[in-house]
Amino acid sequence: MKLLFFVQFLFLSFLLSSQSRDAVFSYTINGRTTSNFEGTIISIYNLEDGSRDSLTSDTVKNRHFTLTGEISSSYKSTKSALVYISFSTSDNNNFFHLAVLDSNTINVNISSDNAIKFTGSDRQDMFQNNYEVVLKALDSTMFYTEKLNSNKESEQIEKKIEQIESKLLSDLKEIYFEKGKSKYLLYLFYGFVPKLIENEDFHFLETLCNDAKGVLNAKYTKAICHAASNRIKVNSKAPMFSLTSLDEKMLSLEDVNKDKYVLLDFWASWCVPCRKQIPRLKNLYVDLSNLQIEFISISIDEESKSWKKAIKEENLNLWPQLLDNKMQTAEKYSVYSIPKYILLDPEGNILTFTENLNEIEESLKENNLIKQN
């Protein structure tokens, strides 16, 4: 399924990064909402240290909420930090917003149409004004992503999301070179690493790698530089790996990729888009069960308990299930967003590298593994 690269990658980045407390400052957010947000849970995540845990949360009561605490920033001279604010409503009308926190008290007003207005911080005003095109594009993509989850005409919606993403990436690059290489833009580009890999824009990735050094969290910088240097491409040899299977045995790619095609499925128990594609993946497996192809699912779950629970829930023991909890294999394959599907030929060459099962099916047709319509 084609989903927003940026949103997927934000969650994945929490796994790649460790916390860093370069500079610490206090923040306060006072919020006011309309009545339809009563009971909404609002949480803040620090994009600069990559923690999976929220800094703090509050529930909207009587149209108000307050978020206070301390936050670490990778940019010592300004004591400001880029954050991800999530809104989980009682009717599952969930959305998010990017913002810049500093030591000023920030006031937030949220209207009934999810429009958010920040006041009280010059840095947030500057961020909102300079990157309005980015924020609007992300809002638009989230809107179409929600439609994709509930609409049968997925192909048209996927194309719309692809158009928005491509335009957004182009606008980001233009802003980056015209308005200065701020750390906020570097964090935004970090979220688009999968898209840059797909576009094989390795020259720009090298630029980001050099610019990120000494500015971004060390783990973020490592991931960007790894993507720039570890150029996994179609027709290149698939990296070898050996991982623990569900029955506690080691399984290597070499064990499976002997005169057979292999479909690698990178996923995680917490990845909603991944799990929504499981029924389709299982149907594909049944259709191909008599052919020379092997399926291997590789989970990047940190905890084996969550991984095993999801396998049981989804009845996924039809093919080998492997755990890559340190993400070493994911990094080898430049997997910076999930789901990710990688099709290998019997010689171990990469035929398709995508997050879209439609592309996998097209590749299978081209290689005469499933019939053309």
The pLDDT value given to residue 2: 37
The pLDDT value given to residue 68: 92
Distance between CA 84 and CA 92 in Å, rounded?
18
Q: Assign 1 to helix, strand or coil.
A: coil
CATH number for 242-366 (one of 3.40.30.10, 3.30.1490.100, 3.20.20.150, 3.30.1490.20): it is: 3.40.30.10
Residues forming beta bridges with residue 322, ordered by sequence position: 245, 298
pLDDT beneath 50, residues of the chain: 1-21
Q: Which helix (H) or strand (E) holds 165?
A: helix 154-178
The pLDDT value given to residue 147: 58
Q: Which of 195, 215, 214 is nearest to 205 (CA)?
A: 195
Q: Which of 165, 176, 183 is nearest to 100 (CA)?
A: 183
The pLDDT value given to residue 14: 43
Could you identify the residue written with the tokens 């990658």?
9
Predicted structure pTM score: 0.60
How is the chain split into domains, by residue range? 21-120, 181-229, 242-366
pLDDT tens column, 92-126 = 667 778 888 888 889 999 887 777 888 888 888 87
The pLDDT value given to residue 314: 93
Residues 6+ apart with CB under 8 A from 290: none
The pLDDT value given to residue 300: 92
Q: Which helix (H) or strand (E) holds 365?
A: helix 357-366
CATH 2.40.50.140 fits 21-120, yes or no: no
Distance between CA 334 and CA 68 in Å, rounded?
37
Q: Which of 207, 233, 236, 212 is nearest to 222 (CA)?
A: 212
User: In the 8-state DSSP scheme, what is residue 142?
Assistant: H
The pLDDT value given to residue 145: 60
Would you say 46 and 72 are in contact if contact means Cβ atoms under 8 Å apart? yes
